[in-house]
Amino acid sequence: MTTVITYGTFDLFHVGHVNLLKRLSSLGDRLIVGCSTDEFNLEKGKKALIPYEHRAKILSSCRYVDSVFPESTWDQKPDDIIREKADIFAMGNDWSGKFDYLSDICRVIYLPRTEDISSTELRSIVHAYRQDEIQQVKTAVSSLSQMIEKL
């Protein structure tokens, strides 16, 4: 049995995540996912919009994922690989080279990400929509204020 292990925040779960998990699961018989905790994300300078418990549950419900565990530190990866008897450590290619040091305990693979989709991009889009809505409210309030003054 070939076990594949990967890690990520998996915030704002989207088709890019599904594509990556599907490709990762095709590399072996079992896919194990380390999902970054909220506390660890803060240490990394990230703030997940979806809480860890929800992200872990979403991942667990994905047919490509066999099990999920919390990722709490950068340093836990070697122990996780040994504990899970992982044969392959795989990540998106935006991490290329960063985890090559793990190649002494398992095979390390970097897979291409889905183009034109990312949680960062989704956050930007949501922020832009929010700013547009705020501007619309400000314009409406200004118009109402002008109408009231005329009365």
44 among known catalytic residues = yes
> Where do the domains of the chain lie?
3-115, 118-151
pLDDT in tens, 105-122: 999 999 988 766 665 665
Q: Are 80 and 86 in contact (CB under 8 A)?
A: yes
Catalytic residue among 22, 44, 47, 138: 44
77 among known catalytic residues = no
pLDDT in tens, 138-149: 666 666 667 677
pLDDT in tens, 62-94: 999 999 999 999 999 999 999 999 999 999 888
This prediction has a pTM of 0.77
Output the average pLDDT for the chain.
Answer: 87
pLDDT of 13 reads 83
Q: Has residue 18 got a pLDDT over 60?
A: yes
pLDDT of 105 reads 97
Q: State mean pLDDT over 21-43.
A: 96
Identify which of 86, 120, 123 has the alpha carbon closest to the alpha carbon of residue 7. 86
3-115, superfamily in CATH?
Answer: HUPs (3.40.50.620)
